[in-house]
Amino acid sequence: MTVADGQSPRDGWQRNVWALSLCVFIAFVGFQFFSPFLPLYVRELGVTDPAKIALWSGVLAAITPAVSGVLSPVFGRLADRFGRKMMLIRSLAGFTIIIGVMGLVTSVQQLFVARFLQGLVAGFTPMAIAVASVSAPPDKVPVAIGRVQAAQLLSTAVGPAVGGIVASHLGIRPAFYVTATMCALALVALIFLFKESRPLESGDTKKTGASAPLRAFLGYPHFVVVVTLLLLAQFIDRGLSLLIPLHVAHIPGIDAAATSGIIISVAAVGGALSATFGARLGQAVPGGRLLLVQLLVGGAVCASMAFAHHWVTLLVLRTLVALCLGGALTLAYSLGGMLVPNEVRGAAFGWLALGVQVGTAASPLATGAMAAASIPIAFVVTGALAWFAAALLFFAARDLLNRRERGEA
């Protein structure tokens, strides 16, 4: 496979992955400008009852990933047929328009429609990871995926703080306009900096089955296990994002908003480090084995947060969880990439992303319900989910513990 400028993938992959990581970072910093403030925007749109604000906030947070999850396999197959860069352009262009429109809505129902439409053009993250996986040589795929994941995680350390300043000084509506501008900048960077490999010829596309439905991928051993691992890893990460502010709010004598922001930002840096160094360590240690250890240790530390009664203790434990589990998605995606040929990797990552999107949509609702009953129990259950994922990997896909790259055991 030859890149557009004549370089081989091994020669040009660094430039492409760095360009892709830059686009992901810019776009996700923009997303963080408004995402944490959706409940405040719901109130600004006229919903005053606290219970209804919570309900609408949960629905608005869930609808976009839910729609995106359903459509991710479709976009993955289209990417394999017509080009992955084109699908990324489609997604960023759609974000630019729709998120800008969110700043103009006058009711929460209109905001719901806009969030639904955002789901129709979403799928940016799984496609970016798929592009990174096919841009790099086989032995560098974990590094490429880890770099993109780290860029996404680092945006969480930067975006909410800057977005909070914008929202507090200019209002929440301008935060949407800033996000739309950031997406437009990411779109320009993608168009001019990323050089896509030549797309498959139509005959090759048919031959490789790039339009393969889910049943085609179910034939690959352990594909369902990897989808489940991605679902659980994302469920845990999103659940902790909700539990930390709720737990901090019950600690007396501190500024809950500021303290939560510090913990979330530090954890984001820890997660980025885990994704980066975990991917590099995965070149020496089989990724499945490394993921197993991360899930076991991370689950234990996560459950221990139920007993944290001081914010410093919570900060230390949350950072340790991030260092353990921050690279879980990267390693699980890498395992998924090992299971399928390059020619159908876009479609495969579309189905893998379905697990991530289900976790993204279900976690706020399920974790919120558990936290309403007991926040400590919610932490313990979240840790138990990590142990369940470890058991699933060990007992249902044990040969992945020794696999380094596709074709090797």
Instruction: Identify the band that residue 286 occupies on the pLDDT scale cut at 50, 70 and 90.
Output: confident
Cβ-proximal residues to 341 (8 Å cutoff; 6+ apart), any chain: 208, 406
Identity of the residue numbered 183: C
- pLDDT average, residue stretch 269-278: 85
> Which residue has tokens 């090992």?
338
Coil vs helix vs strand at 3: strand
Do residues 297 and 327 lie in contact, with contact meaning Cβ atoms separated by under 8 Å? no
Worst-scoring range by mean pLDDT, 35-39, 108-112, 177-181?
35-39
Mean pLDDT of all residues belonging to the chain: 81
pLDDT for res 96: 94
pLDDT digits (tens, 9 = 90+) for 16-29: 889 899 999 998 88
Instruction: Identify the band that residue 2 occupies on the pLDDT scale cut at 50, 70 and 90.
Output: very low
CATH code that applies to domain 9-198+219-402: 1.20.1250.20
Q: What percent of the chain has pLDDT over 90?
A: 28
Worst-scoring range by mean pLDDT, 16-20, 46-50, 55-59, 117-121?
55-59
Q: Which DSSP state fits 340?
A: S
* Cβ neighbours, 10 Å, residue 380: 18
pLDDT digits (tens, 9 = 90+) for 218-265: 778 889 999 999 999 999 988 888 788 778 877 888 776 667 778 877
Do residues 91 and 121 lie in contact, with contact meaning Cβ atoms separated by under 8 Å? yes
Separation between Cα atoms, residue 63 and residue 18, nearest integer Å: 31
pLDDT for res 212: 58
Do residues 342 and 141 lie in contact, with contact meaning Cβ atoms separated by under 8 Å? no
User: Which of the given ranges, 162-171, 286-295, 363-372, has the highest pLDDT on average?
Assistant: 286-295
| Count of residues making up the chain | 409
Instruction: Identify the band that residue 11 occupies on the pLDDT scale cut at 50, 70 and 90.
Output: low
> Which residue has tokens 């885990």?
274
Instruction: Identify the band that residue 33 occupies on the pLDDT scale cut at 50, 70 and 90.
Output: confident
pTM for this model (two decimals): 0.74
Query: Tokens at residue 111, please?
Result: 């905001």
Kindly tell me if the per-residue pLDDT of 208 is higher than 60. Answer: no
Kindly tell me if the per-residue pLDDT of 409 is higher than 50. Answer: no
- pLDDT average, residue stretch 273-291: 83
pLDDT digits (tens, 9 = 90+) for 119-152: 898 878 777 887 887 777 777 777 888 888 888 8
Q: What percent of the chain has pLDDT over 70?
A: 86
* Nearest to 261, CA basis, from 36, 24, 30, 28: 36
pLDDT for res 161: 66
User: Which of the given ranges, 167-181, 200-214, 299-313, has the highest pLDDT on average?
Assistant: 299-313
Cβ-proximal residues to 171 (8 Å cutoff; 6+ apart), any chain: none
pLDDT for res 393: 94
* Nearest to 334, CA basis, from 91, 124, 147: 147
Kindly tell me if the per-residue pLDDT of 297 is higher than 90. Answer: yes
- Burial bucket for residue 277 (CB in 10 Å: 0-12, 13-18, 19+): middle
pLDDT for res 205: 43
Q: Which DSSP state fits 254?
A: S
